[in-house]
């Protein structure tokens, strides 16, 4: 009976896994012709899985009923919130891929299969209730991500990105495992619940080292400073649809995982990890803002922008309160929409032969030649900068509010100051598009899928998005409460 209820709770994961296995067979037997069909089926699977996890989020599922496999897996509303974001982002990345890869005739059905398997890994990550589950999910996701990064194997930049990501990712996994073994050694258990119970009161130096190493490994996965070095190179080298994927779904998963590890497993040692998270948050915000200034490549710029955003997200986590976690999830949802929109816009910038354009020189005067893309990008950039009528402002606002309520006034003040620095390069984007002389390099036509995604994200981050904020706030409160109830 125990097994039966456990299997019911992991049903969405089982659906994704079985679908991935079947699609691998289709791929193997029919060949590259099926790429489009496999993409559609993979997207359908992810949509089904999203529908399956949705009830847990709306009901605010929490407590013992959501625990599967003796505490190795939590199917609570916190996990559901993250999973829905992940599934939707992955579907978007499946939609935008064909037109990019088709030009190089490199669209292989393995792309959707690997996205599906990576999503399965992320699903396991956000539901992890045990250090081993955490590692299995993380590794399933990362391994698929390494392959995706070097998917254009004839392109040296793509191969370099994959190799770099693999070597540094393996190092981070090693650090994480070392930390986990220390935590296991000093607490005698790998389950989050057990670790939490064992780490009460004064913590031994060894256990502290374990906590630090685990956080360092996770910081690599969310690309928080000082473990961010790989991000610009990998984002620049990987094929743009894959970069879109990296900037959205795995980031959500890794951040949700970090939140669960810190608040659940290390929940009784908040003072110990909070200083690490606060440092990472501040360093990410400042370095993300400063590092982006000199960049000419738009993909690198967006990579620094994502480092910067991770800093703001970590501020919500540093508060270590229900409100802070809720704010973090709100910011995360808005961030996913914004970065999805920006990367889709980037994908639409192509010259007459369809070669992707990715530098500032190429988009000079875009507002006269391609006004629709330029105006959408304007909205997205202003939103990323946090300019008030747009939704990006709301995300920053709730995060800073939570930080102030948790007596982190200095952190909030420095964060606000650094976000002004960050506004510089977002506004530079707008300046180049609207006030520079037009070069008219962007020629290529984009298919309907790109337009739908771009306009949709522009509408969501426009002031219209505030209509949904009360609803989203309710959901994030549910999700945040579930994590705190579990612990």
Partner 1 sequence: MIQVIAFYLFATLVIASGVFTIMSRNPVHSVLWLILAFFNAAGLMVMVGAEFIAVLLVIVYVGAVAVLFLFVVMMLDIDFAELRAGFIKNFPLGIAIALVLLAELVLGMGAYRAGILELGTPDGTAAPLLGETNIESLGALMYDRYLFLFEGAGMILLVAMIGAIVLTHRDLKTTRGHQNINKQVSRRPEDATVMKQPEIGKGIEL
CB of 171 to partner 1, least distance (A): 18
With a CB cutoff of 8 Å and minimum separation 6, the contacts of 304 are 231, 232, 288, 289, 291, 292, 295
Instruction: Please say which residue, 161 or 276, places its beta carbon nearer to partner 1.
Output: 161
Please list, in sequence order, all residues whose beta carbon lies within 8 angstroms of the beta carbon of residue 121, skipping any fewer than 6 positions away: 136, 137, 138, 139, 140, 141, 142, 143, 144, 253
CA 146 to chain centre: 16
For residue 373, which of 385, 396, 357, 390 has the smallest C-alpha distance?
Answer: 357
Identity of the residue, 25 or 448, whose beta carbon is nearer to partner 1 in the bound complex: 25
Q: Taking the CA atoms of the chain, what radius of gyration do you get in angstroms?
A: 21
* Minimum distance from residue 154 beta carbon to partner 1 (Å): 10
Q: Cβ closer to partner 1: 3 or 467?
A: 3
To partner 1, the closest distance from the beta carbon of 178 in angstroms equals 19
Q: How far is the CB of 97 from partner 1 (least distance, A)?
A: 14
- Least separation, in Å, of the C-beta of 133 and partner 1? 6
Q: Which residues bind partner 1 (CB under 8 A)?
A: 3, 6, 10, 17, 21, 24, 68-70, 72-73, 108, 110, 113-114, 117, 120-121, 124, 130, 132-133, 136-137, 139-140, 143-144, 146-147, 150-151, 153, 162, 188-189
Smaller CB separation from partner 1, 130 or 477? 130
Cβ distance to partner 1 smaller for residue 246 or 331: 246
Is the CB of 68 or the CB of 408 nearer to partner 1? 68
Tell the smallest beta-carbon distance from residue 310 to partner 1 (Å).
25
Closest contact distance (angstroms) between CB of 118 and partner 1 is: 8
Nearer to partner 1, 52 or 68 (CB): 68
- CB 460, min distance to partner 1, A: 32
Give the shortest CB-59-to-partner 1 separation in angstroms.
Answer: 23
Pick between residue 109 and residue 267 the one whose CB is nearest to partner 1. 109
Kindly tell me which of 234 and 398 has the beta carbon lying closer to partner 1: 234
Using CA atoms, how far apart are residues 443 and 432, in angstroms rounded to an integer?
Answer: 18
141 vs 284, beta carbon nearer partner 1: 141
Question: What is the distance in angstroms between the CA of the first residue and the CA of the last residue of the chain?
Answer: 25
Query: Measured from the CB of residue 92, what is the shortest distance to partner 1 in angstroms?
Result: 22
8 Å CB contact between 111 and 234: no
Nearest to 459 by CA among 383, 405, 408, 395: 383
Contacts of 174 (CB under 8 A, 6+ apart): none
Q: How far is the CB of 346 from partner 1 (least distance, A)?
A: 24
Record the tokens describing residue 453, joined without a space.
Answer: 């995604």
Using the minimum distance from each CB to partner 1, give the nearer residue, 150 or 305. 150
What is the residue whose two structure tokens read 């993250």?
82
Q: CA 369, CA 238: separation in Å to the nearest integer?
A: 28
Q: What's the closest the beta carbon of residue 80 comes to partner 1, in angstroms?
A: 18
**56 versus 282: smaller Cβ distance to partner 1:** 56
């Amino acid at each position: 009976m125990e097994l039966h209820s456990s299997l019911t709770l992991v049903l969405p994961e089982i659906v994704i896994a079985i679908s991935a296995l079947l699609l691998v067979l289709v791929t193997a037997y029919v060949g590259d012709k099926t790429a489009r069909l496999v993409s559609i089926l993979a997207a359908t699977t992810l949509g089904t899985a999203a529908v399956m996890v949705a009830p847990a989020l709306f009901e605010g599922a929490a407590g013992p009923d959501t625990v599967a496999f003796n505490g190795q897996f939590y199917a609570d509303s916190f996990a559901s919130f993250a999973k829905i974001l992940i599934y939707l982002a992955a579907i978007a990345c499946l939609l935008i891929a064909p037109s990019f890869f088709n030009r190089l005739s490199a669209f292989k059905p393995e792309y959707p299969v690997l996205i599906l398997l990576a999503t399965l890994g992320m699903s396991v990550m956000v539901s992890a209730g045990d250090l081993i589950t955490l590692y299995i999910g993380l590794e399933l996701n990362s391994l698929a991500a390494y392959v995706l990064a070097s998917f254009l194997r004839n392109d040296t930049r793509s191969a370099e990105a994959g190799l770099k990501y693999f070597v540094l990712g393996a190092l981070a996994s090693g650090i994480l495992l070392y930390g986990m073994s220390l935590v296991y050694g000093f607490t005698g258990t790998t389950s989050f619940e057990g670790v939490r119970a064992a780490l009460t009161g004064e913590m031994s130096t060894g256990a502290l080292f374990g906590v630090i190493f685990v956080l360092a490994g996770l910081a690599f996965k969310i690309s928080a400073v000082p473990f961010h070095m790989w991000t610009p190179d990998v984002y620049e080298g990987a094929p743009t649809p894959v970069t879109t994927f990296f900037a959205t779904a795995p980031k959500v998963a890794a951040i949700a995982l970090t939140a669960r590890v810190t608040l659940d497993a290390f929940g009784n040692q908040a003072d110990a990890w909070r200083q690490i998270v606060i440092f990472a948050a501040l360093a990410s915000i400042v370095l993300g803002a400063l590092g982006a200034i000199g960049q000419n490549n738009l993909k690198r710029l967006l990579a620094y922008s994502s480092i910067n955003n991770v800093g703001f997200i970590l501020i919500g986590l540093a508060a270590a309160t229900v409100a802070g976690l809720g704010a973090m999830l709100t910011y995360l949802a808005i961030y996913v929409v914004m970065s999805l929109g920006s990367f889709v816009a980037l994908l639409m910038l192509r010259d007459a032969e369809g070669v992707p354009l990715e530098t500032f020189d190429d988009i000079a005067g875009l507002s006269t030649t391609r006004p629709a893309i330029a105006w959408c990008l304007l909205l997205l950039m202003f939103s990323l900068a946090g300019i008030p009528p747009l939704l990006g402002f709301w995300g920053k606002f709730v995060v800073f509010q939570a930080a102030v309520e948790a007596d982190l006034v200095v952190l909030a003040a420095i964060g606000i100051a650094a976000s002004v620095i960050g506004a510089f390069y977002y506004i530079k984007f707008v300046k180049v598009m609207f006030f520079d002389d037009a070069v008219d390099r962007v020629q290529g036509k984009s298919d309907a899928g790109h337009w739908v995604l771009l306009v949709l994200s522009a509408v969501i981050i426009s002031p219209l998005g505030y209509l949904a904020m009360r609803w989203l706030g309710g959901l994030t409160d549910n999700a945040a409460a579930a994590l705190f109830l579990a612990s």
